[in-house]
A and B are shown apart, each in its own frame.
Chain A
Amino acid sequence: MDKVIIAKDLSLAYSNNETIINKANFSINSADFVFITGASGSGKSTLLKSLFGGLKLKQGSLVVGGVELGNISRSRLNFLRRHIGIVFQDYKLVKEWNIDKNIMLPLLINGYVKSVAQNQVDKLLKHVRLNHQTGKYPLELSGGEQQRVAMARALAHNPILILADEPTGNLDEYSSGLIWNLLEGANEQLKTTVIVVTHNIPKTLNVNYKHFHIEYGSIHEVC
């Protein structure tokens, strides 16, 4: 099975040099559904940030989608990010763009023609059950709806990897259920690798998943 992520002796630290992840070794296969858990401040989000090149490695090696992230050039990093979908707890939608344009963003970055991209946006809006909200701006939607827009954006360009940082952290039960369904669907139907950082793994999940737990800077797989 292809490995999408390979970490060898990976250490991560912020600028104050305090090590957050210490010499971690793990790998994630293609089409895996992975949960990363840990207490607050354990380094879950830091690890996720490093997976899309948002943080420089302190030590070791991290390969994502065949790209080594240590000393990566800006253009190579952009190339990698064009194949990753990211979902954040605070949605990170562009407020001055309507939701169609927000979803279209990765398609335009990947060089799709606008008419093709618009078709894809229409399909995705239906998929996330927001086709009745087309043309609206993020702040006109509820938190759950904004997160579905963020999900649609993460799925738009058919990425090899979806990274989700507490995607249901701010949502009610109904909206959370919809987000988990979308992540499951991407993993089962499109064989996309999904990595979710969360406090609580939902009990109603229908996929087989791997579970990594972070404690005192070490990552270990929970069987």
Chain B
Amino acid sequence: MKSVRNHLSLVIALLSILFSMQVFFIVERAIDAYKINLSQNYSVIAVSKKEVSVDEFKKINSIISNSQEISPDSVIKRLSSDMKSTNIELLKLTLPKFYKLSLGYYPSPQEVKKLRDNLLENSSITKVEDFSHNHDTVYKLLLLFKNVVSLFSIVVLVVTVLLIFKELRIWQYKHNERMSIMGLFGAALWLRSAVLFRLSIVDALIASFLSIGVFAYLSSYPWIIEQFRSIGIDVVIFNPIDDSLIIVGVAISISIILASLIVVGHKEEA
């Protein structure tokens, strides 16, 4: 029972770090997926005196991924009832070209402004509509969400680090006596620290497998998948290979640093 309690204290501290880290990854992925979703729905309208090709638009600003000419037919149709067909053709020739510009990713407000300026620098482009007000609101909301999650992760990290340092002091006290006794009989440093490293690696593996299990379960939990689908995004909640490697790597690194600090801080008593 005592041994389980000894393991639990570090396992719980590691679990909270791994959980906050994975939640941060999920939020990052969700925001990225949502940005892609937004970029697909967001476009800029440019009005030009003459025809501009896709490549010319891309040269103006590399954020532009595609351009599509908007047909003036729908506007002309509304006017056509009172006009002769020859006049309609004439009107078509005099009307400027309207382009819908698709972007490679969801830009920041600064990038939108820069894109607008770049487009207007071109002599043939006379007007640009970037819907910046709507864009700014959505972008700021995203930014706020991301900052709140980052702040939450930092708070969890700080609290957990404090927890781990408290744990470190308990471990130092607990292991110092054994390490000193082993030293009295001539045990080399690696042998004196072996138990400590073995314990910390076992705890790291327990914490890793627990969090891998929980996130693997959550990634297939219908309610969670549904929540992301409802906002039109498809997020990888848990990547079995990459995320597992990161979780195991982080947990083992923290444990080894903890054990090394104890070994370095060990003062031999006699």
A interface residues with partner B (beta carbon < 8 Å): 49, 52, 54-55, 74-75, 77-84, 86, 92-97, 105-106, 109, 153
Cβ contacts under 8 Å, B268 to chain A: 54
Contacts A49-B270, A55-B270, A109-B191 given; indicate if A92 touches B181 (C-beta within 8 A). Answer: yes
A-binding segment of B60-68, B89-97, B182-190, B249-257: B182-190
B177 within 8 A of A: yes
Nearest chain B residue, comparing its CB with the CB of A93: B181
B169 within 8 A of A: no
B186 lies within 8 A of A105 (CB): no
14 contacts between A and B (CB under 8 A): A49-B270, A54-B270, A78-B186, A82-B185, A82-B186, A83-B186, A86-B184, A92-B184, A93-B181, A94-B177, A94-B182, A95-B177, A109-B191, A153-B185
A92 CA to B178 CA in the complex, in Å?
A: 9
Chain B contacts to A: CB under 8 angstroms: 177-178, 180-189, 191, 268, 270
Contacts of A75 in B (CB 8 A): 188
Residues of B within 8 A of A109 (CB): 182, 185-187, 191
Q: DSSP majority for the B interface?
A: helix
B182 CB to closest chain A CB (Å) equals 7
**Interchain CB contact (< 8 A) of B182 among A54, A79, A105:** A105
> Nearest Cβ in chain A — how far from B189, in angstroms?
8
Q: Knowing that A78-B183, A84-B186, A92-B180 touch, tell me 10 more A-B residue pairs with CB under 8 angstroms.
A: A75-B188, A80-B186, A81-B183, A81-B186, A82-B186, A86-B185, A94-B177, A97-B178, A106-B186, A109-B191
The 8 Å CB contact of B178, one of A78, A96, A106, is A96
| Distance in angstroms between the alpha carbons of A94 and B187 in the assembled complex | 14
Interface Cβ pair total, 8 Å cutoff:
49
Instruction: Check B188–A78 contact: CB distance below 8 A.
Output: yes
Give every chain A residue within 8 A of B191 (Cβ-Cβ). 109
Are A81's CB and B185's CB within 8 A? yes
- Closest B-chain residue to A55, C-beta based? B270
* Complex contacts, A86 vs chain B, CB 8 Å: 184-185
What distance in Å separates the Cβ of A74 from its nearest Cβ neighbour in chain B? 8
Contacts of A83 in B (CB 8 A): 186
In whole Å, how far is A128's beta carbon from the nearest beta carbon of chain B?
17
Task: List the B residue with the shortest CB-CB distance to A94.
Answer: B178
Give bound CA distance, A95 to B6, whole Å: 15
Beta-carbon nearest neighbor of A75 in chain B: B188
Which residues of chain B come closer than 8 Å to A54, judged between CB atoms?
A: 184, 268, 270
**Minimum-distance CB pairs A-B, first 9:** A54-B270, A81-B186, A82-B186, A78-B186, A106-B185, A109-B187, A94-B178, A92-B181, A109-B185
In the complex, chain A residues whose CB is within 8 Å of the CB of B181: 92-94, 105
